[in-house]
Amino acid sequence: MENEKSRMEKIEEKMDIILEQGIKKKKFKLPRKARISKRKLKSGYVTVVVMNDNHNIDFIKEEIEGSTIRLGDTWHAIEDEDIFFFKGKPIIFLPKKRKNPYNPLKLPNETYGQKHIMARMKNDVIKVKRKLGGVIIWVILGLGALYFITQGL
């Protein structure tokens, strides 16, 4: 039992140290094989995020030739509005099954998740602390009890 208590104390100390330091989030970095140099950029290369059928993503760099990209054995058509930029370098999101890239800006607004979004927004609203109200009630009851006790004597 004491061994478990000492373990818990050590864990709590480590958690306190981690919380004091703050949680550091790592920034996203493109894999090295997908990064484009200035020379490749001038010759028409882009980073392609290939979304495979098994929900895996591959990052590759490919050259745009006549508004098309070749990924292995398939050809895909590219338009100007399908090219996005990540840290100043062009990037394309391309599902392997489709002939055209994925462009979230062209999609219509969807409302099927509206109930979930509204519920989340209501939960995230800043709430007034109610703990103080409970303390005030107990203080009033204590003072009232103390008053009746002193009056009865």
Domain positions in the chain are 32-95, 114-152
| pLDDT at res. 103 | 85
pLDDT of 83 reads 93
Burial of 48 (0-12, 13-18, 19+ CB in 10 A): buried
Q: Report the C-alpha gap between 96 and 98 in whole angstroms.
A: 6
126 confidence band (pLDDT: 50, 70, 90): low
Q: Is the pTM of this model over 0.85?
A: no
Is residue 16 predicted with pLDDT exceeding 90? no
Give the pLDDT band of residue 132 (cuts 50, 70, 90): low
From the list 110, 98, 105, the residue with the least C-alpha distance to 82 is 105
Name the residue with higher pLDDT: 107 or 40.
40
Report pLDDT for 30. 85
SS3 13: helix
CA dist., res. 79 & res. 62, Å (int): 15
Instruction: State the burial class of residue 125 (Cβ atoms within 10 Å of its Cβ: 0-12, 13-18, 19+).
Output: exposed
pLDDT tens-digit map of 41-59? 999 999 999 999 999 999 9
Q: Look at residue 93 and tell me whether its pLDDT is greater than 90.
A: yes
The 10 Å Cβ neighbour count of residue 22 is 7
Grouping H, G, I as helix, E, B as strand and the rest as coil, residue 92 is strand
